């Protein structure tokens, strides 16, 4: 079976991003490119996540350019999609974090750490479906 790729418009990318809650954040650091999984949410036209300030993600990407990737695969239907959000990751003071971001479901337990807002510069996506 051959997969046929289709470019997704930005509106569809944002709609798909709202259906998932785990992403991969990639950024360039002193040791090269790093990629880590994070819990995230979409609010006010931006992607939000939280991390610990002392983590590599908290130390190295705050204020810098990042790329966020979110994917979904349906193996039974032979379909998949992938969305990329490229932008600047800015730490946000907890007093300025929207309520729905404060309620974000996260997998790791512990203190909320710091909240980061990714201001999108580019949003792109692809959908794959099995050729008929």
Q: Which letter, b or e, does each residue of 92-122 get, where b requires 16 or more Cβ atoms within 10 Å of its Cβ?
A: beeeebbeebeebebeeeeeebbbbbbebee
Range of the domain at 119: 3-130
Q: For 21-80, what is each residue's pLDDT tens digit?
A: 999 999 998 889 999 999 999 998 999 999 888 888 888 877 899 999 999 999 998 899
Number of domains in the chain: 1
What's the whole-model pTM score? 0.88
92: CATH: 2.30.110.10
Question: Over pLDDT 70: what percentage of the chain?
Answer: 91
């Amino acid at each position: 079976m051959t997969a046929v790729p289709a470019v997704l418009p930005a509106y569809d990318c944002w709609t798909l991003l709202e259906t998932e809650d785990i992403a991969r954040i990639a950024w360039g650091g002193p040791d090269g490119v790093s990629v880590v999984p994070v819990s995230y949410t979409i609010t006010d036209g931006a992607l939000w996540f939280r991390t610990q300030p002392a983590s590599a993600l908290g130390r190295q990407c705050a204020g810098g350019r990042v790329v966020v990737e979110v994917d979904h695969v349906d193996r039974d239907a032979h379909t998949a999609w992938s969305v990329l959000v490229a932008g600047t990751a800015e730490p946000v003071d907890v007093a300025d974090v929207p309520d729905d971001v404060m309620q974000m479901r996260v997998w790791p337990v512990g203190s909320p750490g710091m909240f980061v807002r990714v201001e999108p510069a580019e949003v792109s996506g692809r959908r794959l479906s099995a050729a008929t």
